[in-house]
Amino acid sequence: MPPRVTLPPTDREARRIKHSRVLSYALVLLAAVVFSLRPELFGDPQTQPAHALLHVWRIVAGIVLALAAVAVQIVVGVQWRSGLRRAAEDDDPDPAEHTRVPPGNRPPADR
């Protein structure tokens, strides 16, 4: 079984992780701004028939922005982990060693 030690990211990966965090923070900040908007800013709620829609759309837009921030972090994390796996497979001198059954765990050959 390969070791479970996680290597530190390379410079390129560190930049990608930093940029993804900045993007996520910006998306969360934008979601907070959208959530804080009040429909009263757009005029008198009694005279505008679309007043209720402003409530709904600001909530939907805020949730979509927050989910986009989470999705950015998930995508970058998955890409980084798959890069680590590819690097580990390239460095493995004998990949068949991990698939072999140890001698003590083999079924008896006489059955």
Contact 54, 42 (CB under 8 A): yes
Taking alpha carbons only, the member of 60, 65, 62 closest to residue 24 is 65
CA dihedral 75, 77, 83, 88 (to 10 degrees): -150
Question: In this predicted model, what pLDDT tens digit does every residue of 9-51 receive, in sequence order?
Answer: 778 888 988 999 999 999 999 999 988 887 666 666 666 666 7
Contact 85, 2 (CB under 8 A): no
Mean pLDDT of 74-103: 74
SS3 22: helix
Question: In this predicted model, what pLDDT tens digit does every residue of 54-86 receive, in sequence order?
Answer: 777 888 999 999 999 999 999 998 988 888 888
Q: Which residues contact residue 7 at a Cβ distance below 8 angstroms, ignoring those fewer than 6 apart?
A: 84, 87
